[in-house]
Amino acid sequence: MSTPQNSIFVEGTRAQYVLEYSLADGVDPQPAAASLAQLAQQTGPAEMVVAFGPALWSRLNMGPSASDLRDFKPIGEGDHAAPASQRDVLVWIHGAEHDDCFDRALAVEDALSGVASAELDLRGFVYHDSRDLTGFIDGSANPKDDARLDAAVDPETGGSVVFTQRWVHDLDKFNTLAVPEQERVIGRTKADSIELEGDAMPADSHVSRTDISGTKIYRRSFPYGSVGEKGLYFLAFGRDMERFEVLLRHMFGVTDDGIHDRLIEFSKPVTGGYWFAPSAKVLKALAAG
Ligand code: HEM
């Protein structure tokens, strides 16, 4: 198998930074994409993952992405909808320290200046013992060790489909629920993340809607925000796009049972995009120009 970008799998980094860029009209993206790929070759105190929107990836002509990759389209209706905001370049930087992440973010901005503009520029963090801001541990059922590669990487190309969504939480609303009710929203206990079982597990809990066979993904989401707006930047890697579509249809009630994930009554996605993270080898070839 062609090796994926190693930084996807480096865990335990507490400082997080993400940039989403849209390409300007009428520019040649090749030189800027090469500079970006060169930056990603540099090993430093912070990790960097680079991915491209479907249209830009085919324009760069660097080989296949996942065969089913396309722009993210909105899913669901009304209050239970996920909007699309497909952009062209995704850069995820993570490390031990925010200043190191910031240095790399500035270098990315330099590389893309005049060619693409940052539509999303978001600094995040690990909250206590890897909790979402709702107070629940996020990542318990994530695949571990080699199962991560199996979930996240297409063995043909060594690349991954990446799905991102910025969610905005209504924590005031969530926190009016007593803890046992919050646990029924998530489907796990709050203190120690034990999955609810049997009759105790509601059909509309987040775990009930996302624990679906054949849809394993590798999640690297992180909290962000201020005392005002705050939420989760959902970031996950999959070997194909279909598994994300299945998960999203279950969350947003686009299924025969019509059940939506109760979590979306307490948090709303405000962006959504699919990306292709090419293998380390293809990224190196892109860097060489
Ligand atoms: C506000 C947004 C979200 C929050 C706060 C959130 C939080 C959580 C939490 C607390 C868990 C249980 C612990 C764990 O296994 O990690 C979980 C599980 C999971 N989530 Fe989310 N999540 C969000 C959005 C999403 C989205 C958009 C997807 C998929 C597109 C997703 C897919 C999953 C999957 C696959 C699991 C594991 C289910 C299992 O196998 O048990 N989540 N999430």
For residue 216, give both structure tokens.
């394993």
**Residues 6 or more apart from 226 whose CB is under 8 A from it?**
none
Backbone angle region of 84, left / alpha / beta, with phi > 0 → left and psi within -120 to 50 → alpha = beta
Separation of alpha carbons 121 and 70, rounded Å? 23
What b-and-e string marks burial along 198-215, b requiring 16 or more CB atoms within 10 Å of the CB?
A: eeebbebbbbbbbeeeeb
Separation of alpha carbons 138 and 32, rounded Å? 35
Residue reference for tokens 């049972």:
257
Separation of alpha carbons 65 and 157, rounded Å? 7
Helical pair 98-112 and 30-41, crossing angle rounded to 10 deg: 160
Look at residue 1 in the predicted model and tell me its pLDDT: 61
Look at residue 269 in the predicted model and tell me its pLDDT: 98
Identify the active-site residue in 138, 154, 204, 261: 138
Separation of alpha carbons 98 and 102, rounded Å? 6
- What does the pLDDT profile of the chain (289 residues) look like in tens digits? 689 999 999 999 999 999 999 999 999 999 999 999 999 999 989 999 999 999 999 999 999 888 789 999 999 999 999 999 999 999 999 999 999 999 999 999 999 999 999 999 999 999 999 999 999 999 999 999 999 999 999 999 999 999 999 999 999 999 999 999 999 999 999 999 999 999 999 999 999 999 999 999 999 999 999 999 999 999 999 999 999 999 999 999 999 999 999 999 999 999 999 999 999 999 999 999 8
Look at residue 67 in the predicted model and tell me its pLDDT: 78
Spacing, Cα 247 to ligand 1 middle (Å): 10
Q: What is the pTM of this model?
A: 0.98
Look at residue 2 in the predicted model and tell me its pLDDT: 82
Q: Of all atoms in ligand 1, which is nearest to the CA of residue 169?
A: 1
Ligand 1 binding residues, C-beta < 6 A:
132, 134, 136-142, 165, 167, 186, 188, 193, 206-207, 210-211, 217, 232, 234, 244, 247-248, 263, 267
The residue contributing the CA closest to ligand 1 atom 35 is 210
Backbone angles phi, psi at 234, to 5 degrees: -80, 125
For residue 156, give both structure tokens.
């043909």
Instruction: Answer yes or no: 138 catalytic.
Output: yes
